Structure 1
């Protein structure tokens, strides 16, 4: 494969990923707000109301804070999701291309893991400031004592002024573990399940020559995206909780709630036990499993559309 075609495929991956990420954010955002608030509510001193479950949290936020509360942090969520998916598929595509020697060799599961891990680390370094702002905006409630951020730009400016630029990378350590492990688990599961479904359908096609030309359809992509996401969430969720707790805004005296990742682990285990590391997992699954299905449906179909356009040009 020529270098120009290889680069074109990488940009197609990035474009498909960005469109897919953007397409999944809006409908699921209230669940993201609920998840973040559950994650940081350690049952001790808190500026957050107490919620019984996901449905109660959504109703309480809607009643006390209105639509604005349910869509707190929406701008950085859209920006972060679009950037993350676009960059992830771009870096992932480049890594796979490099490891397969420009498509000449078949990738092993280990190289799929390496490709996903590499992409996850690069995306985390690029997007951590956006996710930090999103977390803080989602945690702002009428109970807060400090002046609230008015939006994405104001939050970035205030954080830089009050805490310095290094504060934008709070939670980067669990964030790196999360991105690397989550992406590696999800994309490896996706690729291996995809291979199994393709093999199964190919066997059926030999027995039924009248079957459709396209081996995989949108239902297959939905199943692949959703099932691979469940596996990734269950294995990597504690990193999300640790990151969210580290990214909370310091109190009015400037003292952070948690000093570092190890401090979060010790305090969480001491006061909440193992269950503390899975706080908010229900809204997380409700948000991300269907969102991942939609993302992969959009991604695969956009990618097929772009490739068809390239082949016809």
Structure 2
């Protein structure tokens, strides 16, 4: 640790590094399912340039056959960039908020304060990363059936969007994105509370009470905690993801298919019913349950490594 760095600052940056590593590992493994989920989400049965898929397996096979590996990894660069930045900032802001709320408190933070900390972190991350997610969505939706000139990559997409639609277009979907802050809030609150319960159970069974949680929990525990908390968050907040994806589609002939969140909500309910708000959820669960396990395994273990390195300095 450098002389001018406090323990609090060092801890915050350790959380950011661990979160970024976790985000990168997650995207690299699970990106093809993210492409499938996005295409299911926006396919309302009335969009001509999107192929129809029977199920997740059929979608993966069809994309691989017609578009190759490039199709399965469409939007990979903004996906990696967005996820790495998001997780890094999220863990950084989340831990900073917890430290602030824990000031002058000897007891553990309440579930309510965990929720507020997670929501605060999610809102800040959403404002920073919405343009990246918009570009990722549009790259994932490009298919051989598109009549519009395709974006050649991340830079070309940003430049073209700003030229054709203006800077504000990069923030399409920001409203449901902000509502999706509840996703992270629910996930992290569930994770923290389940983690505390598991630590208490293991402490009771251990001969040495009040051990450091780092010594009590292992990668299997982190995997189960990560997957369980993620599933709970997905089931509650998934409709917001569908609304955001539909808003972020590229205009057809210069005309936006949906004008705002309320328009998406009204049209989806009218033509597709409740089922329309859960399109692609199978691919989402297949992607995010194990992905969340990977994220928290990497995060917790990288954090342990950084703590150990700091102690040895």
TM-score where L is the length of structure 1? 0.96
4+ runs deviating over 4 angstroms: 102-105
- How far apart in 2 are the matches of 1:224 and 1:96? 20
Give runs of aligned pairs for residues 286-305 of structure 1, distance below 5 A: 286-305=286-305
Distance 1:256 1:42 in 2: 15
**Aligned counterpart, 1:244:** 245
Gaps of 5+ in 1: none
- Checking the alignment, whether the CA contact within 8 Å between 2:26 and 2:294 is kept in structure 1 is yes
Aligned to 1:256: 256
Aligned to 1:224: 225
Structure 2 distance, partners of 1:137, 1:9, is: 36
Mapped to 2, the partners of 1:190 and 1:138 lie a distance apart of 30
User: Separation in 1 of the partners of 2:96 and 2:260?
Assistant: 33
Indicate the RMSD between aligned Cα atoms, in angstroms. 1.7
- Alpha carbons of structure 1 residues 220 and 29: separation in structure 2 relative to 1, 3 Å: same
* 3-state SS of 2:206 partner: helix
Secondary structure of 1:302's match?
helix
Structure 1 residue 173: Cα displacement: 0.2
Measured in 1, the distance between the counterparts of 2:273 and 2:300 equals 41
What is the deviation of 1:305?
0.8
Which residues in structure 2 correspond to 1:27-176 (within 5 Å)?
27-101=29-103, 104-176=106-178
1:46 Cα deviation after fit: 2.8
Tell me how many residue pairs correspond in the alignment. Answer: 308
CA distance in 2, matches of 1:24, 1:259: 32
Verify the 8 A CA contact 1:18 1:82 in the aligned structure 2: yes
SS of 1:214's equivalent in the other structure is helix
User: 1:206 Cα deviation (Å)?
Assistant: 2.9
- CA deviations on 1:159-215 (whole Å, 9 max, x unpaired) are 00000000000000000111x200110000000000000000000003899xx9810
1:308 CA drift (Å): 1.2
1:193 alignment counterpart? 194
Alignment equivalent of 2:14, drawn from 12, 21, 25:
12
**Alignment deviations for residues 59-78 of structure 1 (CA, whole Å, 9 cap, x no partner):** 11111111111110000000
Structure 1 residue 102: Cα displacement? 7.2
The TM-score with structure 2 as length reference comes to 0.96
